[in-house]
Structure 1
Amino acid sequence: MTDTTRPNSDPDGVARSATSPFDQPTERIPTTDDDLGLLPTEQIPTYATGSTSDRGPFASDVTPTEELRTADSYDRELASALAASTAAPAVVPPAPQAATPRGTLDLGLLVLRVAVGALMLAHGLQKLFGLWGGPGLDGFEMFLVDAGFQQARILAYAGAVGEVVGGVLLIVGLLTPLAAAGLLALVINAWCVRQAAAPGLQWFAPDGPELEALLAAMLVAIILAGPGRFSLEGRRKWATRPHVGSFLALVLGVAGGVCLWIFLNGVNPLV
């Protein structure tokens, strides 16, 4: 290694030492570990299972990863995994369903109920009190006798009161399937009376059962569709979404009307 320091002269010829940093002697390149001040890079720390003092300089920073887990630890982990796999699944409640838009359906059911209920109420008041030129109870009883009914007095009271009560329940929308089913039984017998009054199958009024058939169809529609929201029972589920209960009410109404005609009259209305 040569010394690069050389004298420098100023214009006066006086020799001066170099002041440039590039004119300083080149530093010696470190060649040993002592020069670097570090541990040897080839020294690999060892991990022992003994005491902390026997583990070398990295004992306080490194945990022993080479220790084998015992059989008890495996048993505990296996038991935990089995318990998790056999645990009962959590029950998640279903999300609440949004209300289905019904449009003008409830308004249409209200009009249908009020129209049929008002008509049946008026006929019941005619039979019960003789209003609006009605026959009254006595006249209604004689009509049933002429039509061939047994127990005409009881049927006169039951029919007149049934039309009044059923008509009111339809108007307000209370116990709608049962009220409509009771009125349907009465209308079925009125259809049979009208049909049996003349031989052969009749239809058009005033001799045919045109009005009775129309009333029966409207009552069936009310039973199957429900009263709608514009009623006293409008908040009940079956009032807006009828299901099996409405079908059973329809079966009861039809069966009641047919049985009433068969057991208390017995005439074939189609002959």
Structure 2
Amino acid sequence: MKKLVKTLLTTNPNIGFSIARLVLGVVIFPHGAQKLLGLFGGLGYSGTIDLFTTQMGLPSMVAFSIVMIEFFGSISLILGLFSRFWALSFSGMFLGIIFTTQLEHGFFMNWFGNQAGEGFEYSLLVIGLALSILTNGSGKWSIDNLITKKSQS
């Protein structure tokens, strides 16, 4: 268990990886806040779960996981806490989004409202940032880096 935690927390102390982590966390946070808290014009927890399960036909555990990953994962990324775990979670979630809802609409997002849905370009950007975090860790400015430094002292 100790080795697993060390692997999750060890990070490349590069500022660039901190920037990637912060950008991903800040971009995803409003989506999570919409789904869990109803902020930014969102449906809130009940409305989101209802939408995902009844209208989209997702299993309730998947719907719950999406809400939790987007909200708590984005906050954890902003703080730089267990970033590798959250990056893996975002990668899996956005791969699922691509294959369940976006692939049929092609690459491009629906910028001009002339498609039936969104393409997968945004999801690819999220996955790319998440894979950078997954392979390199939280970066210099992170709780993971502070914990790793402290444990090595």
- The TM-score, its normalising length taken from structure 2, stands at 0.73
Give the Cα separation in 1 of the matches to 2:103 and 2:51: 14
Deviation of 1:179 (Å): 1.5
Q: Which has the higher helix share?
A: 2
What amino acid is aligned across from residue 21 of structure 2 in structure 1? Answer: R
Aligned to 1:146: 55
Deviation of 1:143 (Å): 3.4
Q: State whether structure 2 residue 134 is matched by structure 1 residue 223.
A: yes
Give the Cα separation in 2 of the matches to 1:128 and 1:176: 20
Give the Cα separation in 1 of the matches to 2:48 and 2:99: 16
Aligned to 1:133: 41
Compared CA separation, residues 196 and 106, structure 1 to 2 (3 A)? closer
Compared CA separation, residues 143 and 191, structure 1 to 2 (3 A)? farther
Moved over 4 A (4+): none
Out of 104, 116, 130, the position equivalent to 2:24 is 116
Aligned to 2:95: 188
Identity of aligned residues (%): 26
Aligned 1:239-254 pairs, distance under 5 A: none
Give the Cα separation in 2 of the matches to 1:146 and 1:162: 20
Q: State whether structure 2 residue 62 is matched by structure 1 residue 155.
A: yes
Aligned to 1:91: none
5+ residue gaps, structure 2, are 1-11, 111-117
Counting matched residue pairs gives 129
Give the Cα separation in 2 of the matches to 1:197 and 1:125: 27
Give the Cα separation in 2 of the matches to 1:210 and 1:222: 19
5+ residue gaps, structure 1, are 1-101, 238-271
Deviation of 1:196 (Å): 5.0
